[in-house]
Amino acid sequence: MVTTPDAQPPEWISHEIVQRYLVTFPSKSTPLPLVVQFGSDQCALCPQATLDLDALKKSYDFVWHYEDAINSTIAEELDVTGLPALLIFHDTSNYTLYQRLRNTDVTDIVKEHCPPRLVLDEDF
């Protein structure tokens, strides 16, 4: 679900999560992608998505936010129907929603959309 720059931004862009992110990273800077994870306590696959994102945070730069899909207005507005799901948000004209993630999907998505983190270890 990617919009074109000429299209009107969708209504969910005004959601608090997205607005907080947009205020943190003004359009002049090079923002880190916002990764909104949609999950649920009832989802058998959601804990693995959380573990994957936690591990990826050590090697990739992104802003991570978790939303319980059952109680989330943004999940409803985005029509999230398959869990686990990720919204990758770069700006109002560049975002993608991925649903029903399995196996290495979370890792593949983060690697595709997020810049690697510079990690300096003691041997450097």
Cα atoms in the Cβ-side hemisphere of radius 13 Å centred on 78: 31
φ, ψ for residue 6 (rounded to 5)? -80, -20
- Of 100, 92, 112, which Cα lies nearest the Cα of 69? 100
Per-residue pLDDT of the chain (124 residues; tens, 9 = 90+): 444 445 666 778 877 888 888 777 665 566 799 999 999 999 999 999 999 999 999 999 999 999 999 999 999 999 999 999 999 999 888 899 999 999 999 999 999 999 998 877 666 5
- Of 45, 44, 50, 48, which Cα lies nearest the Cα of 64? 50
The pLDDT score that the predictor gives to residue 26 is 62
Give the strands of the sheet with 85-91, arranged side by side: 63-68, 34-39, 85-91, 94-98
Question: What is the pTM (predicted TM-score) of this model?
Answer: 0.81
- Asked if residues 66 and 31 have their Cβ atoms less than 8 Å apart, the reply is no
The pLDDT score that the predictor gives to residue 103 is 97
The pLDDT score that the predictor gives to residue 88 is 97
Domains of the chain, first to last: 11-101 (3.40.30.10)
The pLDDT score that the predictor gives to residue 81 is 96
**Which one-letter amino acid corresponds to residue 62?**
F
d(CA 9, CA 80): 18
What DSSP element (H or E) covers 53?
Answer: helix 46-56
